[in-house]
Chains A and B, each alone.
Chain A
Amino acid sequence: LLRSSQPLTGPNRRRCREDEKLLGTILDEGERGFIIDTRSAQAAKQARMGGGGTEPKSSYPQWRRLHRALERGRPLQESFARLVEACSEPSPSMERWLGRLESSRWLGHVKAALSTACLAAQCLDREGSKVLVHGGEGTDTTLLVTALAQLILEPSCRTLQGFQELLEREWIEAGHPFHLRCARSASSHARGKQEAPLFLLFLDCVWQLSRQFPLSLEFGERLLLTLFDNAYASAYGTFLCNSEKERSLCKVKESTHSLWAWLNQPEERHKYLNPLYSPNPLVIWPSVEPQSIQLWQGLFLRWIRPSQHLDEAWEEIQRLVGGI
């Protein structure tokens, strides 16, 4: 599984021998690979006008390109804001609730993200093919897809340790601009142009996986909520800045503490574990039918829905499992 940003084909259909060679060496003789472009075919074509574009078939003959449009940027932020608004309104009628849920389109984005990640995973696992994922910049929907695909495919990513490493590798080091994306969250009116909840979308998808495979992730919802909180506001330096370069310039490692270090302390760690966890060596294929995708109540209704009964149930589960 590879990731990159878009090729700078431009309106004049520029070529780059080195890039072609690089992609060529990845594949064996006669082998075919897949490029998953997280933009629609039309959007990708239009990107040429801005100097970007796609890999033309003629220059990259062994690669087959698939387009899966995933929302990002402003529209995704709007979707998030609308959902949060719908959740916080004490709407008296059921229709209005479902209507608002539907018009926020958030669940549709979750479905699309999971589908695309599954597609990538399928290429790798079922077809045995190599896959290159990119969107425009390679810092948003690209990372969403590659990180989710690994969770689906790779059991070690589903351990607490492995998941932290996945985040470190596929989101932080890969350069997701946390500082720009996670500045204000949903209810702020000062909407920065760069604000977008890609990381939250990722966490939501992870939650969907945990709901469909409740025994297969070593961590629980609590970890996901903690990560969400820390991406926006944190006592730790893990999610600071927009890239490794910036973190280095700001001397983050020298002047802040790591979230992982704190989480992994024995007295903290156990709170984030899933008591139902049972290592599952297989690939976990989620269903992306609408019935299978649910609103992440633990996050979106976190401060609205009383959690007493569910907390009690969770305690009961821990008591039952801890009893052995």
Chain B
Amino acid sequence: VENVRLLDRLSSRRAVVGTLYLTATHVIFVENGSETRKETWVLHSQISSIEKQATTATGCPLLIRCKNFQVIQLVIPQERDCHDVYISLIRLARPVKYEELYCFSFNPKLDKEEREQGWKLVDLHEEYIRMGVPNSYWQISDVNRDYGVCDSYPTEVYVPKSATAHIIVGSSKFRSRRRFPALSYYCKGNNASICRSSQPLSGFSARCLEDEQMLQAIRKANPGSDFIYVVDTRPKLNAMANRAAGKGYENEDNYSNIKFQFIGIENIHVMRNSLQKMLEVCELKSPSMSDFLWGLENSGWLKHIKAIMDAGIFIAKAVAEEGVSVLVHCSDGWDRTAQVCSVASLLLDPYYRTMKGFMVLIEKDWVSFGHKFNHRYGNLDGDPKEISPVIDQFIECVWQLMEQLPCAFEFNERFLIHIQHHIYSCQFGNFLCNSQKERRELKIKERTYSLWAHLWKNRADYLNPLYRADHSQTQGTLHPQIAPCNFLYKFWSGMYNRFEKGLHPRQSVTDYLMAVKEETQQLEEELEVLQERLANLQKSQSGNNKIKSKQQDRSKQFGLYTSNNSLANTPQEYSNDLKSFPSRSPSQGDEDSALILTQDNLKSSDPDLSANSDQESGVEDLSCRSPSGGGCLPSEDSGKDSDEAVFLAG
């Protein structure tokens, strides 16, 4: 469709005209005219909702909201075309079969061997060995080898030594969805563990010997403690209400040596609504500070984040400080349980704060334990009531931790954002379906590629320059502040206003420091070489031979890091009175704030390709890749003011 306008949330004057394309996998908007021909690509999988708004004099508005929080406002001249686009997108964004998803057609031009290697990058079996199991207290059970006991669990589960197959099967019959207690994290240092399950089918008075034995077995697997905590992550009222449906929670009278605890994290429906409200705040046009803070408070979002974090902290403390094992469950044990177990593991074990370790963590507590990716993130068209930002909340917990403890994580914010992006993008096969069983049936590993391999290949982009393995912050258990610390939770504009680059700091400290680190390393290497050379020369020559020391032009040699400030700055609309101001809005910043992915770039499929924060900032991206293959996109600013200096890398 031609002559479509792409609007900007913050600046009503700022609209670009172009052509809209619909392909089998993407929606593409290509800007007219200018040499740059900026392109906006959106995967159908990313589309969360499409809204057709009332036709105005200028055309028919269409609003596309994406799961990665990108919001695209189009105005299509003809009503008929708009309707066609709308209907098409509705169908395209709601695939019925897995085969319609992008991961089955995505081709990064790797051979079969490479694809296989990619999938092997994260090996859970190795991970459990690293943790220290199996050992004298824990064993691998293959009771679920054909998914016969629990179809949402993996084939291999780790259970206490004293848990026989009989006990496991019996316990599974007493648990919602048959999700019996299994090992999530084992702490080598003190034998304490984190186990996870679903709620017991206890109703008001039902009991199950095998389930009680299961919990005993968990306790016995930790000789250092004579009780275990059983943590129910639901609000007490909800858990009690479940009893009427024949489910519920563990009665301390029936289970010997347990200490029961409610943590009170709300359910998926509350979370879905909370996010919805927060996104509405993000869509406000020119909100005042009050509108924003009021809206943020009203959504309750940060309160929920804190609740998840507090639960993780409680469990980590129980394991690390008290040396007590914890059994965690919610209702079905695949949402809040996953969040809380992975936060706790992250706090306890520095390995999960490395890049590789984080991938392993997600693979373990989310993928292998049957988190319902398809239902929660809408791979396929399904029940809207199943949709909920569960893993998004976990990812945000990690970000909040990163903000409080800047030296503790090997990876940076961009890593988290890209992972979130790809959970929804269905470009890779890791997050398809609802269980390991379904993924094996679909032969995901033979037909799609692994995100982890892709991220690992580009890991240089995801490093945190402040991370040092030997730093005190990276060692051992993390101790984030608990209370009073409501103020420490910030609104994550990097995620929820991701595509409005102008809203974020215009200069990236992370990228600057990474460049500095790289440069330092190069210089040190060069220094070594020179020193060696000098030593050799001094040996071989004597007397009045001149030793030529090469003058290294640092800037040319090492691509000396310099600031490219020209692209940083465009003013916002500070005034409506000054109509002559050609200002851009921060949502666009200096270049298109939307996702830019071209055919070339699909190979590397980096969702943030040209949208490096570097181009927006005063920082030169030495490996700047623009969609048109040329140099970095010029800003309106540098065109207008030719006296603004443009620094280029040497």
**Which residues of A are in contact with B by a Cβ distance under 8 Å?**
66, 87, 89-95, 97-99, 101-102, 105, 107-108, 110-111, 115, 118-119, 121-123, 126-127, 211-216, 276, 278-285, 287-295, 297, 301, 304-306, 309-310, 312-313, 316-317, 320-321, 323-324
Contacts and interface: CB of A to CB of B under 8 A. Distances in A.
Contacts of B586: 287, 289, 292
Interface stretch (B56-64, B180-188, B228-236, B512-520): B512-520
Contacts of A90: 483-484
A-B residue pairs, 9 tightest by C-beta: A290-B292, A90-B484, A313-B406, A98-B297, A102-B293, A108-B289, A94-B303, A97-B486, A285-B571
In this complex, which of A91, A110, A289, A320 has the most chain B Cβ atoms within 10 angstroms of its Cβ? A289
Interface residues of B, number: 77
Nearest to B514: A320
A183 B161 CA distance: 70
Nearest to B508: A214
A94 B278 CA distance: 15
19 contacts: A90-B483, A90-B484, A93-B303, A93-B486, A94-B297, A97-B486, A105-B290, A126-B582, A127-B578, A211-B505, A213-B506, A214-B509, A282-B618, A287-B502, A289-B586, A291-B491, A305-B488, A312-B471, A320-B516
Interface stretch (B386-394, B429-437, B560-568): B560-568
A278 B563 contact: yes
Given A95-B300, A312-B473, A292 B503 contact: yes
B294 A276 contact: no
Contacts of B645: 281-282
Contact of A316 (B407, B487, B503): B407
Given A119-B575, A282-B569, A317-B466, A126 B486 contact: no
B284 to A, nearest CB: 9
B10 interface: yes
A109 to B, nearest CB: 9
Contacts of B303: 93-95
Contact of A126 (B10, B404, B571): B571
A101 B293 contact: yes
Nearest to B563: A278
A41 to B, nearest CB: 12
A295 B90 CA distance: 41
B508 to A, nearest CB: 8
A118 B571 contact: yes
B558 to A, nearest CB: 11
B583 A122 contact: yes
A213 B483 CA distance: 31
Contacts of A295: 487
A212 B486 contact: no
A183 to B, nearest CB: 27
A304 B404 CA distance: 14
Contacts of A91: 484, 486
Contacts of A108: 288-290
Interface string B478-508: 0001011111111101000100101111110
B517 A320 contact: yes
B581 interface: yes
B466 A313 contact: yes
Given A66-B575, A95-B303, A122-B581, A111 B405 contact: no
Contacts of A212: 505-507
Contacts of B288: 108, 111, 290
A101 B325 CA distance: 39
B23 interface: no
Given A211-B505, A295-B487, 19 more contacts: A91-B484, A92-B483, A95-B303, A101-B293, A213-B568, A216-B565, A276-B512, A280-B568, A280-B618, A281-B644, A284-B569, A287-B504, A289-B586, A291-B282, A305-B488, A313-B406, A313-B466, A317-B513, A320-B466
A257 B507 CA distance: 37
Interface of B: 10, 282, 287-294, 296-297, 300, 302-303, 306, 404-408, 465-466, 468, 471-473, 481, 483-491, 493, 497, 500, 502-507, 509, 512-513, 516-517, 519-520, 523, 562-563, 565-566, 568-572, 574-575, 577-578, 580-583, 586, 617-619, 644-645
B289 A282 contact: no
Given A293-B289, A324-B519, A98 B644 contact: no
B406 A310 contact: yes
A280 B565 contact: yes
A214 B486 contact: no
A306 B480 CA distance: 10
Given A94-B486, A324-B516, A122 B297 contact: no
Contact of A290 (B287, B297, B504, B580): B287
A97 B407 contact: no
Contacts of A284: 506, 568-569
B620 to A, nearest CB: 10
A262 to B, nearest CB: 29
Contact of B497 (A105, A291, A324): A291
A93 B572 CA distance: 35
Nearest to A34: B578
Nearest to B291: A290
Given A97-B487, A98-B296, A320-B465, A287 B619 contact: no
A292 B586 CA distance: 10
A311 to B, nearest CB: 10
Contacts of B408: 309
A214 B507 contact: yes
B505 A320 contact: no
B490 A289 contact: no
Nearest to A288: B572
Contacts of A110: 289
Nearest to B406: A313
A115 B565 contact: no
A149 to B, nearest CB: 11
B466 A215 contact: no
Nearest to B478: A309
In this complex, which of A214, A305, A309 has the most chain B Cβ atoms within 10 angstroms of its Cβ? A309
Contacts of A98: 293, 296-297, 302, 486
A295 B289 CA distance: 12
Contact of B471 (A95, A101, A211, A316): A316
Given A126-B583, A282-B644, A309-B407, A289 B575 contact: no
Contacts of B569: 282-285
A216 B509 CA distance: 11
Nearest to B488: A305
Contacts of B282: 291
B426 to A, nearest CB: 29
Contacts of B574: 115, 118-119, 122, 288
A269 B92 CA distance: 61
Contacts of A310: 406
Nearest to B509: A214
A106 B336 CA distance: 36
A41 B340 CA distance: 54
Nearest to B404: A309
A52 B257 CA distance: 79
A316 B489 CA distance: 23
